[in-house]
Structure 1
């Protein structure tokens, strides 16, 4: 039994207003709430985090908030002798308590969903940060590999240059040795060979100059 015109959507709306007043933020997870609210694991979780009910100020038991049909009949029949105004006021108060209780349940679910959403968002951020660190490490590793290959190429080039310099020095020493030879005492064929070599060396030096 609910107040006239006060349906399920009204309870949800009231819970959202209470959420805004408590959290100073609007509730933006309606879809999550609709999906989760009847899921067994979520229901079990809500039973764990559900706040304990405080004793009613008018001394009524928890069962008096949620009466069945037989109990409704018992209450009505046992209170026939009460004034109509007092009984109507009591019923009105009872319906208000039931409505507020339903809204508080929805509010608690909304708060838990927002809390879970925040945890999931934080986990997602942590995951993204880890992935970013991994990508940065991968990029750094690739850069190191590129730098290493460049260093290997540089060293190889230096080796080639040193080898070329070594060959030029050896060739220069050989040319100097040939130019210093006294061919007059050589056999004719050997003399002709070294004279030809000396002419080639002189021609090469002339071109370089």
Structure 2
């Protein structure tokens, strides 16, 4: 009996037994050689050996070795949900460990880069601070010279004033200033 005739006979038996046609042909063609159903078929075959078929039951062997039926490839049965979840957790924990290691090395390298940038920034700031201090010291020295020049200019004016045409109080005031200037100059010259 050919494979297609066996299928047709199985469909007529199903229709007689159930009262309607088999509506899952598309599913059966996809799933018939899956490991789960092969194991299920072997279980049914094992129970058929011990039970004697009744008049209403007709045994149709779909795995006839006459060359018409395609041979299923031996497949390993897929793991169950629980085992799949456990395997997934293990791979995630391994990946997380790898990710943690990668992340920590990435953080270390970023930290080293940050330290290097920070040291360079500190060095540049120190150089800029030295330059600013140097510039400020020069400005202070210039300001002191300006003040000294202004003081000399004032002293020169005071020393060159003619006190004969002034009233006596003004003349006395400027003469005392002239003496202070002379005393200060004498002290500076003595210290040098």
- Structure 2-normalised TM-score? 0.43
Report which of the two structures shows the higher radius of gyration computed on alpha carbons: 2
- Higher RCO, Cα 8 Å, sep 6+: 1
Q: Which structure: greater helix fraction?
A: 1
